[in-house]
A and B are shown apart, each in its own frame.
Chain A
Amino acid sequence: MRFVFKTNYIQDIRPWKDGYQLSLYLFLLALVFSAPWLLDDFFLGELTNVLIWAIAGLGLMILTGHTGQVSLGHAAFLAFGCYANVALIEAGVPFLLAFPLSGILTGIAGVTVAIPALRLHGIYLAIFTLALSILMDDIIVLAEPITGGVTGKFVGGVEIFGKLVDRWATPVEFFWLVLGVTLLVTIGYINLLRAPLGRSFIAVRDSEVSAQAMGVDIARTKMISFALSCSVTGWAGALMGLYAGAFNNETFSVLISIQLLMMIVIGGLGSIHGAFLGAIVVGFLPQFLSISKEYVGAIFGGNAVAIPGLEFGIFGMILIAFILFEPLGMYGRWLKIRTWFELFPFYRKEMFKRQKSYLKTERLR
């Protein structure tokens, strides 16, 4: 087992535990940075897609994973960011300005929604946001002058410093753009978690009464969380729009909202790792399924069967399996595996069991 000896405060403040962990992250980063040379255009596109989903996951993670407010409506904010970005570009705003603005506008929209939502808890908030996601479909159709309604919108590449950045024409440049946004969002998120605001999110999630007693303003904290979460989701939406090239009122359906929530649950709620792990599953599941369908087709003869909704069904089954067997998600499983290796052969199952706290009787309210 690795023991980390702490000799000063900076060791607790910096985001990595020790040199070993730092070199691991640097290695991963180097691997991602060399992707344009290692992967062909198709797989680079897939990796880009995973990164965009990871940004969306980070957005929802702020609200659901760290502040404990379940949202089943984040596809609405993906849509908002996507349309805001395109509308601004069409209005002649340069991309480098339109893109940040699209996130900020989505954040403002999020706060507007948060004001009535602040009074709602748990399942009621989930239902409220679900309704929002359904409503967004109609809003997009109604706002046809801006959104193109049912026909939708098409978007080509964008220009950054006179350089074309387009998913199809210049996939490598597009990858750099997405990677850049991913890194900025992740670094901001890491900073937040080691600062008072991030801790107050966790406080609100775990116990509102004691957060309040410690001086945390619950309503304000939730509002900030909504704003940050929606901004990040808006950026992810803007990138999704550029990635897809074409979108309409059905692109960001309720199913996307649910998929996003499932993604961070599978990845592991309440951790940045969870958003990335979940995105990998969501990003590669369709590929994995189509490959395995081909195999199945080859074995049983005949052409590959197309079962509608198969992807979602399998995704749902994975989710149920996780909720039953690994509520902490993939990141929780990874922590256990790591501890097993570190402590070999002394690992015991009970190490990750929750202790029951006794004395929670009615009398002692």
Chain B
Amino acid sequence: MSLLEFESVTLKFGGLTAVDNLSFEVEEGEVFAIVGPNGAGKSTVFNLISRFYDPFAGSIRFDGHDLLRVKPSGVASYGVARTFQNIELFEHATVLQNLLVGRHRHRRTNLVSEILFLPSVRQQEIKNREKVEEIIDFLDLQAFRDKMISGLPYGVRKVVEVARALATDPKLLLLDEPASGLSVEETTDMRWWIDDIRKQMGITVLMVEHDMGLVSGVSDRVLAMADGAKLALGPPEHVQSHPAVIEAYLGKAS
């Protein structure tokens, strides 16, 4: 059984078919990349997994569960975490607070115990912080931990978003264009981090990325999409040289 299974999923926005009869599987422990030209439907695939949209047809299964029966806020509790193409951080909170929100799915306390800040809450908070500090160390965010997001540069925000997703302790990490807008050095850092996330933390990674260097560097398998449909699926070299993919990127030679 694969970790994530898309089976003949179709999603339409009015007349536009954003995802067209798409099937693929992500195996546990791999780095799986989705590539494709702008508007191919890559982010829509992520939003389907996050349950922001209901598919028109098809099924999505995660870790043996039918994801389509889960509400959007329930997806995280199965162990799926994500970042957003457009960075969706909590702007008026500190880096530390952002990461702590990532711990929300591990909350075991209730309203009353939190207002009284009972010892159980204190213990849970200490545990949350241990986990969060580990991630801060891992992604080198010590210098920013008490800073407000609204004052951080773009490159740091991207890393904070990855950190927040990791704080949820996921099985599957969805990264939507983790390297877009990053400098060459920052992209290199990101490349090693993705490697370590898979190897050290044992987290499966599904990412959307335009930077082919990064894609072929870290991913085991690549899915190429255009207009919501699958073009090719396989190892990076194979997909990059696939005629349909080249055509989708460069247009039909006539």
- A residues contacting B by CB (< 8 A) are 9-10, 12-13, 188, 191-192, 194-200, 202-203, 205-207, 209-218, 224, 270, 352, 354-355, 357-360, 363-365
Contacts and interface: CB of A to CB of B under 8 A. Distances in A.
A212 B100 CA distance: 14
A160 B139 CA distance: 57
Contacts of A199: 93, 97, 100-101, 104
A213 B93 contact: no
Contacts of B75: 213, 215
A191 B114 contact: yes
Interface of A is mostly: helix
B88 to A, nearest CB: 4
A195 B117 contact: yes
B143 interface: no
Interface in B20-50: 38, 43, 50
Given A203-B101, A213-B50, A197 B114 contact: yes
Nearest to A358: B154
Contacts of B57: none
Interface stretch (B59-67, B79-87, B225-233): B79-87
A358 to B, nearest CB: 6
A203 B87 contact: no
B92 A202 contact: yes
Interface in B108-150: 109, 111, 114-117, 121-122, 124-126, 129-130, 133, 150
B129 A191 contact: no
B183 to A, nearest CB: 13
Contacts of B109: 195-196
A364 B180 contact: yes
A355 B155 CA distance: 12
Contact of B129 (A9, A195, A200): A9
B111 A214 contact: no
A87 to B, nearest CB: 26
B90 A195 contact: no
Nearest to B167: A214
Interface of B is mostly: helix
30 contacts: A9-B125, A9-B129, A188-B115, A188-B116, A194-B117, A195-B115, A195-B125, A198-B114, A199-B97, A199-B101, A200-B101, A200-B104, A205-B90, A205-B92, A209-B84, A210-B164, A211-B90, A212-B73, A213-B75, A213-B82, A214-B102, A214-B164, A215-B73, A215-B168, A217-B73, A355-B151, A357-B154, A358-B154, A364-B180, A365-B85
Contacts, number: 138
Contact of B115 (A192, A202, A207): A192
B72 A357 contact: no
Nearest to A359: B181
B215 interface: no
Contacts of B101: 199-200, 202-203, 211, 214, 216
B201 interface: no
B194 interface: no
Contacts of A360: 86
B158 to A, nearest CB: 10
Nearest to A17: B146
Contact of B88 (A202, A210, A270): A210
Given A191-B117, A365-B85, A358 B93 contact: no
A207 B105 contact: no
B190 interface: no
A188 B104 CA distance: 20
Given A12-B129, A215-B75, 20 more contacts: A12-B96, A188-B116, A191-B117, A196-B104, A202-B92, A203-B93, A203-B104, A210-B84, A213-B76, A213-B88, A215-B76, A215-B77, A215-B105, A215-B168, A217-B71, A224-B111, A355-B151, A355-B153, A364-B177, A365-B86
B74 interface: yes
Nearest to A184: B115
B107 interface: yes
Nearest to A206: B90
B246 interface: no
Instruction: List 4 A-B pairs, minimum CB-CB distance, nearest first.
Output: A215-B76, A195-B114, A215-B105, A206-B90
Contacts of B104: 196, 199-200, 203, 214-216
Interface string B168-210: 1000000001001100000000000000000000000000000
